[in-house]
């Protein structure tokens, strides 16, 4: 920006001296350089905004993925518990004491016996 200020001052000096062609050329060069600096700044800002958008989108997708994982994990665990309780509930003697219930349930569910070994 320092160079732009110098060119403007130089253009003012040319205009004060009556050298209008040189003043116009100096102003033109200053405007072109300032415009190119503005365009470069704008381009960098656009790239920064796009990068921030991509980062935020990736973080949101990661958060959604983690939430979905926990939903599936809790749902699967709940389903397993419901099925396990349902199998035990169908055992005869479910109302009796816990030891006899658990033995009868384990005897009724051979897959559970293999699971706890």
Find the range with the poorest average confidence among 14-28, 69-83, 86-100: 86-100
Q: What is the share, in percent, of the chain residues with pLDDT greater than 90?
A: 30
3-class DSSP assignment, residue 109: coil
Structure tokens at 117: 């070994």
For the chain, what is the mean pLDDT?
78
**Is the pLDDT at 108 greater than 80, yes or no?**
no
The Cα–Cα gap between 100 and 32 comes to: 93
The H helix count followed by the E strand count for the chain is 4, 0
**Tokens 């009556």 sit at which residue?**
18
SS percent in the chain: helix, strand, coil, step 5: 90, 0, 10
Cβ proximity of 66 and 54 under 8 Å: no
Dump pLDDT digits (tens) for 5-48: 777 788 888 888 888 888 888 888 888 887 788 888 889 999 99
Q: What is the pLDDT of residue 117?
A: 56
Q: 10, 8, 12: which is closest to 30 by C-alpha?
A: 8
Using alpha carbons, select from 52, 80, 73 the residue that is nearest to residue 88.
Answer: 80
């Amino acid at each position: 920006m320092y160079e732009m200020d110098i060119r403007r001052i130089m253009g003012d000096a040319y205009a004060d001296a009556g050298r209008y062609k040189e003043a116009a050329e100096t102003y033109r060069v200053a405007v072109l350089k300032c415009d190119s600096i503005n365009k470069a700044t704008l381009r960098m800002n656009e790239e920064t905004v796009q990068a921030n958008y991509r980062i935020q989108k990736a973080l949101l997708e990661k958060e959604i993925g983690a939430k979905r994982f926990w939903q599936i994990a809790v749902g699967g665990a709940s389903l397993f518990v419901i099925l396990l309780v349902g199998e035990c509930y169908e055992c005869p003697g479910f109302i009796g004491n816990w030891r006899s219930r658990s033995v009868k349930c384990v005897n009724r569910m051979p897959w559970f016996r293999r699971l706890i070994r």
